[in-house]
Structure 1
Amino acid sequence: MKIKVFADTICGWCFIGQTRLNKALKAFPETKFDIEHIPFQLNTDMPKEGIDRSKYLEIKFGGKEFAQPMYDQMTNEAKKENLNFDLDKIKKTPNTVFSHLLIELAQKTNLQNEIKEKIYQSYFIDGLDIGSKEILINIGKEFNINANVINDFFNLKNIENINSYISVAREKEINGVPFLEIGTDFVSGAQSSTNLEGIIRSNLS
């Protein structure tokens, strides 16, 4: 069964949604799932080097105090999935193109799910700059992906390919993530694993 997951690596709700999807999939041990991770960029105009976190919160929300209620809610939802977000560790909001490229590269060895999860953890729990080539290369090396292979993959042609998905999302009128295509159903937001299980079941019957 094919499942398409539109998500961004700096989207906390995407991390929560991915965790819930993984939980839902365990209810179908006999079913083979083909999970395609489709890159989505929340900040299409983000500078390549990213921006200081406090400046980002100022631009996006008018300051940290205005973002805090939403982040508190997200952190509480994450706890329900045993994810201990530590947003205060985040010092920079990165450009996510290279992180999407690493996930795409990982699909060649069927490690995309594990790598994506590690990128989420690195950002939301460890506060690392997942826009940094060095940090992403280290993540790849943990999964036995050669550093030179990763570096070579981070080329202009592949960057343009990631950016081409911006128009794909627009054509599908996807304005927020996570967004899932499960069989014939479209699912928006970090739905509960019970809901996702029901949607998967209805598409299998």
Structure 2
Amino acid sequence: MNFKNLQKTLGVVVDGNIGRSTLTALFKKLGANQSWAEELALASNVHFKDYAILYNELRFAHFIAQLAHESGNFKYMQEIASGAAYEGRKDLGNVMAGDGVRFKGRGPIQLTGRANYKKYGQALGIDFESHPELVATPSIGLLVACKFWTSNALNELADKDDVLSITKKINGGTNGLNDRKANLTKIKGWMS
């Protein structure tokens, strides 16, 4: 697996350096519209290095595969369902009336629950608890995904190629495991 093969697959300049043009082509190939692909690529180009996601191909492949599943192949930055199913979920910090809808899944990692919006907002210096809609902005959502990824030690699990444990950390269970595995296989294949 290597980044040059990914660039060949995407039809971009083959130099082994993952930058905005490669990332834009990747997000677009996975399903994002042009505008979101460009915005996600801009944010990724900055944050992937800061969060050590570009440290190796395995980390990169796992991160992209998981986010592709969570966001419907980068077509949705907000959960399609209303979020009412999360109402009263104390495990998510949804303790006030309307929290389920207000703090439904957003961003490419589908951050969910008042507690997570508060936690990651405080960690990044952005008041997501007062402005949860900000997480649905592709660039901000990508930053949140990076912070979530490293805060939950997912780089280390990616280094072990442990898709099951990564899925459990992101999803709380194994929802969509087969799709996540298929995404991972596809992205690894593009780098082979």
> Is TM more than 0.5 here?
no
Structure with more of its chain in helix, by fraction: 2
Larger relative strand fraction: 1
TM value normalised by structure 1: 0.31
TM-score, with length taken from structure 2 = 0.32
